[in-house]
Amino acid sequence: MRSLQFSHDARPPAPSGAFWSAGRARSRYLLLAGGVAATLALAACGSSSSGKSGTASASGGGTINIGVIGPMTGSSAEIGNLMSGACYAAAHEVNAAGGVLGRTVSCKLIDDTGDPADAVPNVTRALATTGNLDMAVGLETNTAATTIPLVNNAHIPMVTTNGLPSYDSTTDTYFWRMTASDEQNGAAFVAWAVRQGYKRVALIFQNNGDSQSNQPGAVAAMGHSGGTMTANLTIPGDASSYSSVVARVIAGKPQALIFAADPQTSATFLSEYRQLNGGKVPPVITATESLTPAFFSTVQKVMGTAYMTHDIALIGTYISPSTSAYSLYKQAIYGTPQIKDPATILGVGTISAIYDGINLMSLAMDEAHSTSGAVYNSDIAKIASGTPGSVVVDSYAAGLAALKAGKQIHYEGVGGAIHFNAHHNSPGNFSASGFAANGSPTFLGEIPGTEVQSLVS
């Protein structure tokens, strides 16, 4: 999947019931934080989608099914937990507003295990046995190349959080993405390094799809940054030692490390760096997929709290906590019974695209008076961009009320205004986060998308 971004305010509510305010804010996914087990799939009801060209009215029966395609088991199960949490929150809000066309929406978890070999049969089976999904979300980076074609060929609109640069120019009809590709996210790492005044930067990426997909953008951006790339290395995950690689990096005398790896790999690498460099380790810039309890606790054990809170910046999708859309999203996350770890789910900016995507696709169904993907798909762009005289709405309830009043709507969600291009991409801006002493996210700063784009174009 792609790097996820923690939002500015991801702390739990204060005892008084008010939310604590924490300052701060892609490819992308995170590890699952305690709580919502992947096995919490909602009971499957048959989809009442009437086929690729049919329509479904408010009087139609059955459940509208949202396929959440992601790793619900295996080493990346934390990603699936985040995805399912955002879906549960959106479904909770949609159903509280009366459902879609008067019908209940339900999240159906489809396990891709994070492995393309498993993803194909699992997704194929789900498409064949659920009476047709009505929409899909997730479809993360590790398996997107195999799952997206299956969903697209089934004529099911999807909002994906994958970070593959190849989808920057896709022609898939039912593909929609509201987060940047990993190439752009990698460039955002460099943009942050430039802001901090780092002139000598080493690039180290673990050899997995999530980490390495950021590497080309970071390399390209370094070439335009005016700085020096002291190393560009790919390392295996979870090795017992990285001493020889660490020695090479140290020899380049970097001022900062752009470093993307899983928790254990990161802990081993950084602890050996400190041992071999007289107790000193440069600041680390990484992806917000690492802004998780698992990463914090694992690395903190070897690097200490001071390093975690002062020398790590995590880059990802920006969302603004000052908007009413964010406030409503926050209420939904904390008010949804299935969600057991709302602070972590709320903190991941990229995951909010799933919530926005479900609202957007649900409103498109209402606009089209149909649950058929072939019918309502075009209304997704219409509602996202708005038309002259459209009413701006920031929630499903507000959008549904406006549609019932005979008005045209323009949806602006947690991620702000949506500007889909010809390839159904709307990348947005970035921000940097840090860790507080308790492992919660803190806001470090916003990085405009135009600033990032200037480093890769």
Non-local (6+) Cβ contacts of 278 within 8 A are none
Same domain for 170 and 89, yes or no, is yes
* pLDDT tens track for 385-406: 998 999 999 999 999 999 999 9
State the DSSP code for 450. Answer: H
Beta strands in 82-210 (DSSP E): 105-111, 135-138, 158-160, 175-176, 200-206
With tokens 């919660």, the residue in question is 440
369 and 229 part of one domain: no
> In 3-state terms, what secondary structure has residue 397?
helix
| Average pLDDT along the chain | 85
**CB 72, CB 39: distance < 8 Å:** yes
Domain extent for 311: 1-179+301-442
Burial per residue of 9-35, b for 16 or more beta-carbon CB atoms within 10 angstroms, e otherwise: bbbeeeeeeebeebebbbbbbbbbbeb
Query: For residue 132, how many other CB atoms are within 10 A of its CB?
Result: 22
Return the CATH number at 149: 3.40.50.2300
Exposed/middle/buried for 422, CB within 10 Å: 0-12, 13-18, 19+? Answer: exposed
Q: What is the pLDDT of residue 411?
A: 96
Question: Mean pLDDT throughout 73-84?
Answer: 88
Give residue 372's pLDDT.
94
Residue 31's pLDDT band, with cuts at 50, 70 and 90, is very low
pLDDT digits (tens, 9 = 90+) for 330-355: 999 999 999 988 887 887 778 899 99
Q: Do 323 and 221 share a domain, yes or no?
A: no
397 with 290, same domain? no
Residues 23 and 151 in one domain: yes
Torsion of CA 56, 390, 152, 74, to 10 degrees: -100
Is 403 found in the same domain as 332? yes
Do 325 and 416 reside in the same domain of the chain?
Answer: yes
Is 230 found in the same domain as 110? no
pLDDT digits (tens, 9 = 90+) for 253-276: 999 999 999 999 999 999 999 999
Does residue 139 sit in the same domain as residue 187?
A: no
| Of 171, 128, 173, 164, the residue nearest 146 (C-alpha) | 164
Enumerate the β-bridge partners of residue 433: 314, 443
- Pick 48 or 317 by higher pLDDT: 317
Residue 89 vs residues 72, 287, 337, 342, 345: alpha-carbon distances, Å = 17, 24, 9, 10, 10
Q: What is the pLDDT of residue 130?
A: 55
What is the tally of helices (H) and strands (E) in the chain?
Answer: 15, 14
Q: How far is CA 3 from the centre of its chain?
A: 6
Using a CB cutoff of 8 Å and minimum separation of 24, what contacts does 406-412 make?
A: 409/363, 409/367, 409/383, 410/383, 410/384, 410/385, 410/386, 411/356, 411/359, 411/360, 411/363, 411/383, 411/384, 411/386, 412/325
How many domains does the chain contain in total? Answer: 2
Looking at the structure, tell me whether residues 386 and 369 fall in a common domain: yes
Say yes or no: 288 and 315 in one domain.
Answer: no
pLDDT of 5 reads: 43
Q: In this predicted structure, which of 117-126, 250-259, 288-297, 341-350 has the lowest mean pLDDT?
A: 341-350
Residues 169 and 49 in one domain: yes
The pLDDT of residue 275 is: 98
